[in-house]
Structure 1
Amino acid sequence: MGDMKGGNKSKANDIITATELKNNLGMYLDYVIEDNEVIITKNGKKAVRLTPYITDADRYFLMKEKTLDYQYGGKKVSYEEFMEIYEKSDLRMEFINGEIVLLSSPSTTHQEISGNLHVEFREYLKGKPCKVFYAPFDVHFRKEGFKDPDVMQPDLIVACDVAETTNEKGRYMGTPLLVVEILSPSTRSKDMVDKLNTFMISGVREYWLVDPDQETILVYGFKDLDIDHFMTYRKQENVRSYWFSDLEIAGAVVFP
């Protein structure tokens, strides 16, 4: 391990004998603490690896820092790169137009509205082939004319193709008929512009935008990859679905 003794500490794995470790334990421990690894041999064979101790919390923040670098560094990533990052992270994130977007924790009002809508949709869908799912639930939206899909976690979706589009890992890979997003200050622009466009050109039939501050629900209906219907409903009105003709939910039930 000549590089270390000479003061030029390499980040690569260094291989030493058990005798070297015994004679220079303090020096090697300091070396490992500085984020290096040391492999110890015995009788000429690799036996033990010394690595820096990283707690689960440390690992979480390291991954968060790497993800933030992707998002705020202005870098575009491919769908494959996003999936690799996503699989290694505990963070909630979406992939929109080639960029990683981190998702913050929702407010209590957001969760109340989501829960109220979930109950209403679930009651309506009893005995029907469709199902309602709530976030976090990954959906891969395949946009017409684009190579890579967007990957999002809508607040609620209604899907009628679950059985035939769930893969061997138990993940839904289809296109929902109806999507609901509940607006917040951090997501308002993306929900109202980027996601609206993604849903419209990926085969979604209906999009509800719930505004907790204004206590309104915007209902978009899509046909032939374009907007075919638009209505604004207030808290005191009944919200009518574009796609499900007999679905009607009282606005007063939605907002806490």
Structure 2
Amino acid sequence: MKVSSTEVQNNFGKYLAIAAQEDVIVTRNGREIARLTAVGESDAGVVAERRASYEFGNHGGRKAAFDEFQALSKDGSEERYEYIDGEIYAMASPTTDHQTALMELAVIFHGWSQGKSCRPFVAPYDIQLRRIERLEQLNVVQPDLMIICDLEEHLAEDGYYKGVPALLVEILSESTRRKDLLRKADLYMRSGVKEYWIVNPFSKEIMIYRFADWEIAENVTFRLGETAKSYIFEGLLAELNRVFR
């Protein structure tokens, strides 16, 4: 099956399910750019993107042991990295559109959280996640924005949160959109995150996924002129004209 990148972005849940049965080839301007395919039996239930090997320097993944990731993250540099499914990803510097959307959403989330036990946090803030089917593999990500409802329960002695946020937000950039749309979406779904917002400054859309029982339960796309609404948090609303102003 061949579908456009825009169609996949707008209906990610649908094509994630289809990819478990047959390959989905993603096109842009008529050119094949990616493929969604079900991985082998050892990783049953996980949908991955079959892609060429990336060089580490252009924000793609590079296979590495977790010890190497830890050493790289503690080398004193200002560079930030994520570790997903045994690969290190260098994080790109955010654009103005990215930061505008992040600041607006952070203000909205902060206002919503007043008087509630759930609290929003913004990057950089390491979150450690484990897939349900691969509990021995630790992943470390830095979502742009998140809502945590069990901070006291999972706050470790080193001052870092060790639980699973209820809601995560990623704002797409040119260099991270594949990772955020595919690999991170799958990781979050299989790690117990309840809701995932994908904020797209290019199409000025917000896609929201609700996860349940390690699968996509619901998803919806909001566009300019509309107001994004959380599935799991009553009253958490974001006007897209404000987010993408």
In structure 2, the partner of 1:128 is 116
How well do the aligned residues superpose, as a CA RMSD in angstroms? 2.0
In terms of Rg, which structure is larger? 1
Structure-2 change in CA distance of 1:219 and 1:175 (3 Å): same
- Contact 1:159 1:177 (8 Å CA) reproduced: yes
Q: Tell me the secondary structure at the aligned position of residue 242 of structure 1.
A: coil
Q: Going by fraction, where is helix more abundant, 1 or 2?
A: 1
Q: Going by fraction, where is strand more abundant, 1 or 2?
A: 2
* Pairwise CA distance, 1:72: 9.0
- Mapping of 1:117-156 within 5 angstroms? 117-146=105-134, 147-156=136-145
- Mapping of 1:154-233 within 5 angstroms? 154-233=143-222
Rounded Cα–Cα distance in structure 1 between residues aligned with 2:242 and 2:165: 24
Q: Tell me the secondary structure at the aligned position of residue 196 of structure 1.
A: helix
Instruction: Provide Cα deviations, 1:187-222, integer angstroms capped at 9, x if missing partner.
Output: 010000000000000000000001101110000000
| Aligned pair partner of 2:86 in 76, 79, 98 | 98
Are 1:87 and 2:74 matched, yes or no? yes
Structure-2 change in CA distance of 1:178 and 1:151 (3 Å): same
Instruction: Provide Cα deviations, 1:142-198, integer angstroms capped at 9, x if missing partner.
Output: 111211121111110111111121111111111100000001110010000000000
- Contact 2:60 2:89 (8 Å CA) reproduced: no
Which amino acid counterpart does residue 88 of structure 1 have in structure 2? D
* Pairwise CA distance, 1:79: 2.3
Are 1:77 and 2:69 matched, yes or no? no
In structure 2, the partner of 1:113 is 101
* Pairwise CA distance, 1:70: 9.4
- What are structure 1's unaligned runs of at least 5 residues? 1-67
Which amino acid counterpart does residue 141 of structure 1 have in structure 2? L
Q: After the TM superposition, which parts of structure 1 deviate over 4 Å for at least 4 consecutive aligned residues?
A: 68-75
Structure-2 change in CA distance of 1:202 and 1:104 (3 Å): same
TM-score by length of 2: 0.73
Q: Tell me the secondary structure at the aligned position of residue 201 of structure 1.
A: helix
Aligned length: 189
TM-score by length of 1: 0.70
Higher relative contact order (CA 8 A, sep 6+): 2
